[in-house]
Amino acid sequence: MNTYRYNYLIVIGFTALAVGLAVYYFDRSPTLLSTTVGWEATPPKHHLFGMLGYNLPTLLHTLSFALLTVGMGRLNNTGAMIAVSSWGVINLLFEAIQHPTLATQLYYLFPNSKLSHFALSGTFDPFDVLAITVGALLSALILKHFQHLSSIPTQLEQHS
Amino acid sequence: MNKDAIFFRATRFVALAMLTIFGFISIIATGGSKVETNRIDCDVSTVTITSTLVGTVSDSGDTVTGNLTITCGTNGIRGVTITGSAGWWNIVSVGPSNASGVIAVAKSAEALGRSDIGTTKTVPIIVNGYDASGNEASRTITISIPIN
């Protein structure tokens, strides 16, 4: 059974998550976060990430949660691929329901629900779909890399 | 299975469950942040919207034109004129940038076709404002758009 250097994956996952949060803090209006996590609502002061800030969080969400799931769950090869695919599909579904057609249908099905409000107030962006795909592929590549590394004994293991 | 193995599995299960919940919450919490919205400086429960929007289907392109008049309590607020392609038009960020900072936030969804002529489409509009306690609040108001 293939295993990974799980702690590395957790570190990379949390780092990606931190970068994603930085985009929201510096580039996006924190008003939304203020209503959900209690951050102070102030207009964004910087545009640190420029154009990247539009789609980077979507990529990083898929990437970080896939790696964190594999790392924290100590998943094997099959589990890891299921985790990557699942987070990719989940992100794609949430992006898809922001499409105006689906968002309105969702509103008619579940009026005044948090989900339909999310869908209506969101913006469907084809580049987010691309970002999710890239995020999933990138996490698969990182997993592949660490799977390869795990077959190489560390110095500590060689000395013991 | 010994105690250590059970503890390991239980810890792993809890960690994955928390991670999954956090993952979903973060998607919901950050969704919509691309929309440039202004918050109406009034109690959303007092907001009313009247619409004269009319959809037109034609070979040269579907359009929705007309006027949205937003009222906050007893205060009349300048109307919002909408013109655009029916398939993708939305009312997000289109609105008066007047001193009172009022804006309608909405999204339409109907791609029109010949079969839609004579029907009426309903479009939910989200109004961002405050509740009676002064906390940020949103309300969805549905308007009807006849299609000619």
pLDDT digits (tens, 9 = 90+) for B100-130: 333 333 444 456 678 888 988 777 777 777 7
Mutate to test the interface with B, among A72, A120, A125 (most CBs of B within 10 A): A120
Per the structure block, which two tokens stand in for A97?
């329901």
Instruction: Compare A64 and B133 and report the one with higher pLDDT.
Output: A64
Cβ proximity of B51 and B144 under 8 Å:
yes
Q: Which whole number is the average pLDDT over A22-37?
A: 59
Coil, helix or strand at residue B131:
coil
Residue A133's pLDDT is what? 97
pLDDT digits (tens, 9 = 90+) for B45-102: 888 888 887 888 877 767 777 777 777 776 555 555 555 555 444 443 333 333 233 3
pLDDT averaged over chain B?
70
B125, B80, B78: which is closest to B105 by C-alpha? B125
Per the structure block, which two tokens stand in for A122?
């969101």
Per the structure block, which two tokens stand in for B134?
């002064």
Measured between alpha carbons, how far is residue B85 from residues B60, B117, B125 in Å? 11, 16, 17
Query: Residue A49: in which H helix or E strand, if any?
Result: none
Q: Which whole number is the average pLDDT over A35-49?
A: 49
The alpha carbon of residue A43 is apart from the nearest alpha carbon of chain B, in Å, by 11
Those residues with Cβ within 8 angstroms of residue A121's Cβ, 6 or more apart along the chain or in another chain: B31, B32, B35, B37, B105, B107, B126, B138
Check the CA dihedral A16-B28-A96-A26 and report its sign. Answer: negative
Instruction: Compare A98 and B71 and report the one with higher pLDDT.
Output: A98
The amino acid that residue A114 corresponds to is K
Phi, psi of B32 (to 5 degrees): 90, -5
Q: Which residues on B lie below 8 Å from A29 (Cβ)?
A: 33, 36-37
Residue A40's pLDDT is what? 39
Residue A25's pLDDT is what? 77
Coil, helix or strand at residue B143:
strand
Burial A115-151 (b: 16+ CB within 10 A, else e): bbbbbbbbbbbeebbebbeebbebbbebbeebbeeee
Cβ proximity of B68 and B104 under 8 Å:
yes
pLDDT digits (tens, 9 = 90+) for B54-66: 888 877 767 777 7
Instruction: Compare A13 and A32 and report the one with higher pLDDT.
Output: A13
User: Using alpha carbons only, what angle is made at residue B98 by residues B97 and B104, rounded to the nearest 5 degrees?
Assistant: 55
Residues B105, A121: C-beta atoms closer than 8 Å: yes
Q: pLDDT category, A10, cuts 50, 70, 90?
A: very high
Instruction: Compare A83 and B51 and report the one with higher pLDDT.
Output: A83
Q: pLDDT category, A69, cuts 50, 70, 90?
A: very high
Rounded distance between C-alpha atoms, residue A38 and residue A105, angstroms:
31
Coil, helix or strand at residue A93:
helix
Q: Which whole number is the average pLDDT over A6-15?
A: 93
Residues B32, A123: C-beta atoms closer than 8 Å: yes
Residue A11's pLDDT is what? 94
Residue B109's pLDDT is what? 43
Most confident region among A8-17, B5-14, B137-146 by mean pLDDT:
A8-17
State yes or no: pLDDT of A36 exceeds 50.
Answer: no
Per the structure block, which two tokens stand in for B130?
């405050």
Lowest mean pLDDT among A18-32, A75-89, B45-59: A18-32
Kindly report the length of chain B. 148
Q: pLDDT category, A66, cuts 50, 70, 90?
A: very high
Q: Which residues on A lie below 8 Å from B124 (Cβ)?
A: 104, 107, 120
User: Which pairs with CB-CB distance under 8 Å and at least 24 residues apart come from B117-122?
Assistant: B117/B57, B117/B147, B117/B148, B118/B147, B118/B148, B119/B146, B119/B147, B120/B144, B120/B145, B120/B146, B120/B147, B121/B55, B121/B145, B121/B146, B121/B147
Residue A122's pLDDT is what? 74
Q: Which residues on A lie below 8 Å from B107 (Cβ)?
A: 100, 103-104, 120-121
Q: pLDDT category, A33, cuts 50, 70, 90?
A: very low
Nearest CA in chain A to B93: A121
Instruction: Compare B56 and A133 and report the one with higher pLDDT.
Output: A133
Lowest mean pLDDT among A9-13, A42-46, A51-55, B142-146: A42-46
Rounded distance between C-alpha atoms, residue A69 and residue B15, angstroms:
9
Rounded distance between C-alpha atoms, residue B65 and residue B114, angstroms:
18
Q: pLDDT category, A99, cuts 50, 70, 90?
A: confident
Rounded distance between C-alpha atoms, residue B137 and residue B123, angstroms:
20
Q: Does B88 touch chain A (CB under 8 A)?
A: yes
